[in-house]
Amino acid sequence: WREGTFFNSAMRFLVSLFFSFAAGVRIASPPLFAATAVACRRRALPRAVEAVPGESCTGEKVVVVGATGYIGKAVVRESVRRGYATTAVVRDAAKAAGEPKFEGARIATADVCDPPALGAAGSPFEKGAVDVVISCLASRSGSKKDSFAIDYQATLNCLDAARAAGARHFVLLSAFCVKSAERKDPYALQFQYAKMEFEAKLREQTEMTYSIVRPTAFFKSVSGQLEVVNSGAPFVYFDLGEGRCATCNPISEADLAAALVDTVADKSKENALWNLGGPDDGLSMKQQGEMVAEVLGKEEAKLLAVPIGLFDVIIGGLQGGADLALRASRFDAWPEGAPEWLVKGLASGLAGLAQSLEDSAEFGRIGRYYAVEDMLTTDPADKYGRTTLRQHYERIAVEGQEYDPYTTMFAPNK
């Protein structure tokens, strides 16, 4: 879950802040006839066989966008393993050529933000070149601008290109938390709205079938503190009061990749939304901290509960600063004779500061969201895979984990 990356980044910031102080001190069913008409216009699966999870392959041509991301790489590897003719869409082909997980896949360069280039001759979306698209696109920052540029517009560009190319099926890696945007929760986030709006576009079109997969959290997103705990520092979590903290059942990247590829052949996932978690029962952040300590062989779990109110103070300060800077950038009562270059320069600088603070406030809201919201599936049909979180911790405790500044807190580059 790219969402978890936001949580760990926010956590990293707050942990640094805390230690510094210490040192100094959804889907609505359409009418029956409408659904039937849409289904008739969509092309049928090439093979009418029962899908086998983790094994089925329709033999079609699969294009993966967002292929260089954490989950995208796993999807490319799984698609190749199944026997699909797989194309990984990347921005830098030379860099991607050295990626082990792309072995057996065709690497194609394309800019998902450039619609005309996507369908050009020789491109991955050239007419007839693709049967299935798996989109793992996601903005890194979660800011409003980036969210709507990537989670909505770039993904829509790929959908339009797939339709023009004659593709049959579109698989979307979305997010469990999009439900907050659907409910119009007052704390819903910008990237959730961006994903929700794209999901609506995907459902509206009638040329292709689709599958929407909303994972709870990725293992990598809840393992960022392992190195910190191993060094002797405490595992930090947010205290929601009365001993409560957020709970989730995350899923491994390999299991999530398998689930995404499964939807290509599984008729039951056609034109459907799949909320998806891993095989674990819900684990609270506190339980995760205790598990990490046990796996690392610590005699006692060191846990540090940070009051959730700290987020509110930080977010309020950032948003207040953003509002003040924006108002100041629009100030028009400058002293007579003030140089125009100075006035324009100050206005531009203050507007930039306002945007930066606004983005930081949104980043804080993202962190707070994942500190208080449970990312948990309880229906057995919404649990997938065999790898438990404990098994993941045991593996990375021995092998280490790939460094990612968005998920790994204070860890060395592995």
User: pLDDT of 230-262, one tens digit each?
Assistant: 999 999 999 998 889 999 999 999 999 999 999
Q: How sure is the predictor about 200, in pLDDT bands with cuts at 50, 70 and 90?
A: very high
CA 281/CA 246 separation, integer angstroms: 13
pLDDT digits (tens, 9 = 90+) for 89-131: 999 999 999 999 999 999 999 999 999 989 888 899 999 999 9
* pTM exceeds 0.85 for this model: no
Which amino acid appears at position 26 of this protein? Answer: R
Cα separation, 217 vs 225, in Å, equals: 15
Cβ atoms of residues 62 and 88 within 8 Å: no
403 confidence band (pLDDT: 50, 70, 90):
low
> CB of 222 within 8 A of CB of 288?
yes
Lowest mean pLDDT among 283-287, 320-324, 370-374: 370-374
Kindly state the tokens that stand for 68. 């260089």
> Which of 152-161, 202-211, 246-255, 319-328 has the lowest average pLDDT?
319-328
3-state secondary structure of 383: strand
**DSSP 8-class letter at 97:** T
Q: What is the dihedral of CA 138, 139, 144, 150, to 10 degrees?
A: -70
> In this structure, what token pair is assigned to residue 215?
């994972």
Residue range 328-365, pLDDT digits in tens: 888 877 777 788 888 888 889 999 999 899 888 888 88
Q: Are 140 and 147 in contact (CB under 8 A)?
A: no
